[in-house]
């Protein structure tokens, strides 16, 4: 009976669905996190009576046929790049992106990673880095005698030097955009990598065509909607239970057949 394997594919699919939802809920307070959605496709079909085949010598056509589905499979886990809320923090080096774009980060191996999490800090040399110490690109170095830092909406970093009245421009934050942001590869630590599916990065200044503006003293929150996630979790749980009931019912039917005398 095909329903045993069909029910098992349904249970596996809903298990993946629950895992995706649980990851969203776990990251509901992660800075710049983008919620994910599991997508599914039906499996192959077995044709017991092919649709469109002739049913007589007169050329009559079978209008619908008999196709038996074999279950469901996972197709993708899609990242939904919806804007998160902008949460003021008051921290000078916290920067949020309002609109399209990603901050660029240089990894220890020389690769460039991308992130929406703008919780930056200064290292011992005064270089702007992430919480893991990775340098924000292009490199921005703040002089040691700086008493205040201003980052304007266009990404210019202005340092007020002790003893000077005019702020000094010490660098320009640049953003990166992609033709297909869902194609970026997540590697953890709020970082994403470019892939052939995402297309090549297009860099530009904040506020330019196709790029959002930056806001100092704020962070972008996760775009997870906890009410929607709990609702989807309940739906996935019910679907899992129904697929397990299909397997139980099939087992009972098979027992009835085996007990025939």
Q: Which of 174, 159, 46, 196 is nearest to 106 (CA)?
A: 174
pLDDT (tens digit per residue) in 115-163: 999 999 999 999 999 999 999 999 899 988 888 999 999 999 999 988 8
Say yes or no to pLDDT of 261 above 70. Answer: no
- Report how far residue 160's alpha carbon sits from residue 146's, in angstroms, rounded to the nearest whole number: 6
pLDDT value, residue 55:
77
Asked if the model's pLDDT at residue 41 lies above 80, the reply is: yes
pLDDT (mean) for 67-77: 89
pLDDT over threshold 90, residue 52 = no
Q: What is the mean pLDDT of residues 74-95?
A: 93
What pLDDT, on a 0 to 100 scale, did the predictor assign at position 1? Answer: 77
Q: What is the mean pLDDT of residues 211-240?
A: 95
DSSP assigned state of 184? P
- The pLDDT, as a whole number, for residue 11 is 94
Confidence (pLDDT) at 179? 94
250 C-beta neighbours (distance < 10 Å), count: 17
Rg (CA), the chain: 27
The three-class DSSP label of residue 215 is: strand
Quick one: average pLDDT of 94-99?
94
pTM: 0.84
How far apart (Å, rounded) are the C-alpha atoms in residues 128 and 172? 11
Length of the chain: 261
Instruction: Tell me the mean pLDDT in the region 196-222.
Output: 94
């Amino acid at each position: 009976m095909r329903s045993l394997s069909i029910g098992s594919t349904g249970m596996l699919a809903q298990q993946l669905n629950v895992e995706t939802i649980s990851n969203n809920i776990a990251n509901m307070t992660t800075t710049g996190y983008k919620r994910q959605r599991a997508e599914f496709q039906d499996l192959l079909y077995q044709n017991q009576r092919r649709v469109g085949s002739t049913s007589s010598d007169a050329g009559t056509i079978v209008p619908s046929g008999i196709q038996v589905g074999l279950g469901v499979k996972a197709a993708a886990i899609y990242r939904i790049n919806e804007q998160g809320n902008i949460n003021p923090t008051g921290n000078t080096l916290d920067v949020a992106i309002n609109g399209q774009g990603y901050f660029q980060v240089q990894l220890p191996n020389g690769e460039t990673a991308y992130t929406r999490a703008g919780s930056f800090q200064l290292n011992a040399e005064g270089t702007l880095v992430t919480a893991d110490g990775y340098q924000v690109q292009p490199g921005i170095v703040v002089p040691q005698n700086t008493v205040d830092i201003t980052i304007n909406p266009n990404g210019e970093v202005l340092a007020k030097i002790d003893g000077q009245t005019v702020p000094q421009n010490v660098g320009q934050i640049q953003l990166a955009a992609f033709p297909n942001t869902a194609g970026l590869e997540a590697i953890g630590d709020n970082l994403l990598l470019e892939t052939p599916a995402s297309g090549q990065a297009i860099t530009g200044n904040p506020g330019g065509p196709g790029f959002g503006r930056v806001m100092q003293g704020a962070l972008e929150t996760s775009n997870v909607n906890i009410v929607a996630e709990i609702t989807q979790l309940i739906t996935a749980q019910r679907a899992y239970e129904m697929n397990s009931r299909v397997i139980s019912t099939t087992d009972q039917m098979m027992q009835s057949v085996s007990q025939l005398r």
